[in-house]
Chain A
């Protein structure tokens, strides 16, 4: 323990360079642990984009594709399901609720989603939060439209404004349903999920703007319908949905229900469990994570190299000290131990300070980050990953410590007790 005592006193004596070194290691470790925390937060926030939905059902195709167009408003659906099929499953005894989605149109690049009041009633995100209205009411009439928070904010729409829907989902569609504009009746609260970037109408509205489009092409000139024609109709028959979300009455039925849907012979369709599909998707984009982690590991290495430089450059002015230690009987091995211990102490102090810094920053920044970008970064006691990082940093410090230590070892052997300063 004498050598540890010497190492600590020696570090304290060089307080300025010690605190610089510890500080740089602390910052790099804070970055490493902080990125890890943000990553976990992002991952949880990602897999919580939608919650409490047990199954997402759509036409047969790719799992991720279904997830992308139903939840994230990305990519295009390949096919629709018939309304009758949807109703059949919606009334299945295992099903508690459903949310139908009719997709395929857009407004100024934002996806238009035809849905029902079930959306406002059952859609949940981030640990069960409900969809709430910032102003107005939920759309229920044929030409009602409810805007996601970002859509309203970015396009500057308010209640009562008219919105024309574009056929297809490009930024600039040339086939407009502009003879049947919708009226903004509500604006949703911000959710920090893709809900904010969507435009919600009713399924009847989707049907209405496609009257005369049954063959997929716009009606011939002179055969177009206008808003008044639709409003004059007694009832609009809904013919299809693109996908629907299912909540089961009993979660034990989810797997059986999924199998039943996948085996359905009426038309090709599939059901995915959002949690699993989201995880699968996250794996797919995990490369970015790995890259980010790699960068932070290099930052930590740079911090440790700073320590190496600081210890190494101090060796020359410490040759006297080494000679004195040798004179009182310290072997070259003790000199090595002294320097390696100093490196380990620096790395350990830096690692702990870095961890502390992360918690300090989190406790201050967590509410701010949540309010600004909707990313909730959980504050938890350091877990196995954090300890693994810290262990790795201290181990790396230990190994790097051998570089100056072996240099000092050679110097000590060479100098002996000679006074060479």
Chain B
């Protein structure tokens, strides 16, 4: 049971189209910091959608934290994602009509298991603590529209991390940052994943960052399908 991700013979396609994903095997140990790279159109975002349980694989097994998402219903996958997965987008991560604090606390308010893992502190305190760790503690009351891109990505990271989900999925979260900020952002993200014991799946087409990860996976190498 030490595998965070165990994908076997996964096949996925949109509608009746060609196979976008055709992955014989992909396994990640718990606690891995995985760097998943490949050119645009190699199926990176689609794979993350499958791992997060938003997209249902047509064939194969997708075991995340021991649960096979392919056998779960849509509602079960939504609940699973709410409880176990934190997700960071490339950009525009935040809901514009919520404050920074409300954006961060959203998963904890949505899911009781995430609330239960806050180590006894309140939702707001937990959010403030995370925000401090990511150096955005002074932004909590601000409307998200006033934040810089780098600040927005840190807020998104806080939201993914709150309530200590076991799997953090990040879809090119640094591509809109300049290089120095990328490294700083990654350091903070690693630090928090480690603190929470979370597995990180980090997708990028920018290989300059790969040295910082414990495992590097080239998607074109493992995926026989492609657009």
A329 and B79 form a contact (CB under 8 A)? yes
What is the CA–CA distance of A333 and B76 in the complex, to the nearest angstrom? 12
Q: How far is the CB of B171 from chain A (nearest CB, A)?
A: 8
Q: Say whether B78 contacts A331, CB under 8 Å.
A: yes
Give the shortest distance, in Å, between A334 (CB) and chain B (any CB).
8
Q: Which residue of B lies closest to A321 (CB)?
A: B95
From B84, which residue of chain A is reached at the shortest CB distance?
A329
Contact of A326 among B54, B96, B111 (CB under 8 A): B54
Residues of A within 8 A of B45 (CB): 417-419
**Contact in complex: B87, A417 (CB < 8 Å):** yes
Query: Whole-angstrom distance between the alpha carbons of A417 and B106 in the complex?
Result: 17
A419-B48 in contact (CB<8A) = no
Are B159 and A328 in contact (CB-based, < 8 A)?
yes
Contact between B87 and A328, CB atoms less than 8 A apart: yes
Chain B residue at minimum C-beta to C-beta distance from A326: B54
A320-B75 contact, Cβ under 8 Å, with A10-B97, A329-B81, A418-B49: no
A-B pairs with CB below 8 Å: how many? 73
Contact of A332 among B74, B81, B82, B97 (CB under 8 A): B74
Once the chains bind, are A417 and B54 in contact (CB under 8 Å)? yes
B95 touches A327 (CB 8 A): no
Determine if B95 and A324 form an interchain contact, defined as CB atoms under 8 angstroms apart.
Answer: yes
Most central of A13, A323, A325, A329 by chain B CB within 10 Å: A329
Q: Decide: A324 and B94 in contact? CB cutoff 8 A.
A: yes
Min CB–CB distance B41 → chain A (angstroms): 13
CB pair A328 B106 closer than 8 Å: yes
The answer to whether B54 touches A416 (Cβ under 8 A) is yes
* B79-104 to A contact mask, C-beta < 8 Å, 1/0: 10111010101111111111000100
**B74 and A331: CB pair below 8 A?**
yes
How many chain B residues sit at the interface, stated as a range, is 20 to 34
Question: A340 CB to closest chain B CB, in angstroms?
Answer: 18
Q: Does B23 contact A (CB under 8 A)?
A: no
With A329-B78, A329-B79, A332-B74: A417-B52 Cβ-Cβ less than 8 Å: yes
Closest B residue, CB atoms, query A333: B75
Interface assignment of A9: CB less than 8 Å from any CB of chain B: yes
Chain B residue, CB-CB nearest to A317:
B96
Q: Is the CB of A325 within 8 A of B54?
A: no
Shortest Cβ distance from residue A341 to the other chain B in the assembled complex, whole angstroms: 14
Docked complex Cα distance between A417 and B172 (Å) = 13
Tell me, yes or no, whether B142 is within 8 Å of chain A by CB. no
* Contact B97 A9, beta carbon cutoff 8 Å: yes
Min CB gap B55→A, angstroms: 5
- B74, B82, B91, B95 interface centre (most CB from chain A within 10 Å): B95
Interchain CA distance A219-B75 in the complex, whole Å: 99
Q: How far is the CA of A219 from the CA of B107 in the complex (A)?
A: 102
Could you tell me if B90 and A330 are in contact, using CB atoms closer than 8 angstroms? no
Q: Which A residues touch B106, using CB under 8 A?
A: 328
Question: Counting CB contacts under 8 A, is A364 at the interface?
Answer: no
CB distance from B92 to the nearest CB of A (A): 5
Contact partner of A324 among B75, B79, B93, CB < 8 A? B93
Query: Could you tell me if B87 and A12 are in contact, using CB atoms closer than 8 angstroms?
Result: no
| Contact present for A329 and B82 (CB under 8 Å) | yes
Residues of chain B with a CB closer than 8 A to A333's CB: 75
Residues 6-25 of chain A, each 1 if its beta carbon lies under 8 Å from chain B, else 0: 10011011100000000000
* Chain A residues positioned under 8 Å from B171 (CB to CB): 417
- The answer to whether A2 has its CB under 8 Å from any CB of chain B is yes
How far apart are the CA atoms of A331 and B82 in the complex, in Å?
9
Inter-chain contacts of A12 with B (CB < 8 A): 97
Bound CA span A12–B96, Å: 11
Q: Is A217's CB within 8 Å of the partner chain B? A: no
In this assembly, does A421 line the interface, its C-beta being within 8 Å of a C-beta of chain B? yes
Which residue of chain A lies nearest to B76 when distances are taken between CB atoms in the complex?
A331
Most B Cβ at <10 Å: residue of A12, A323, A333, A416: A416
CA distance A402 to B141 in the complex (A): 34
Contacts of B48 in A (CB 8 A): 417
Q: Which residues of B contact A325 (CB under 8 A)?
A: 95
Q: Which residues of A are found within 8 Å of B222, using beta-carbon distances? A: none
Q: How far is the CA of A331 from the CA of B52 in the complex (A)?
A: 13
Residues in B whose Cβ lies below 8 Å from that of A13: 96-97
- Asked if B181 is at the interface (CB within 8 A of a chain A CB), the reply is no
CA distance A416 to B95 in the complex (A): 16
Which A-B residue pairs are the 7 nearest by beta carbons?
A: A329-B82, A13-B97, A331-B78, A327-B87, A416-B54, A328-B107, A9-B97
Would you list 19 pairs from A and B whose C-beta atoms are within 8 A, ordered by A residue?
A2-B109, A2-B110, A6-B95, A9-B97, A9-B102, A12-B97, A14-B97, A320-B92, A323-B89, A324-B95, A326-B78, A328-B110, A328-B159, A329-B111, A417-B52, A418-B45, A418-B49, A419-B89, A419-B91
4 new A-B contacts, CB < 8 A, other than A323-B89, A417-B54, are A327-B87, A328-B107, A329-B81, A332-B74
B interface residues (Cβ-Cβ under 8 A, vs A): 45-46, 48-49, 52, 54-55, 74-75, 78-79, 81-83, 85, 87, 89-98, 102, 106-107, 109-111, 159, 171
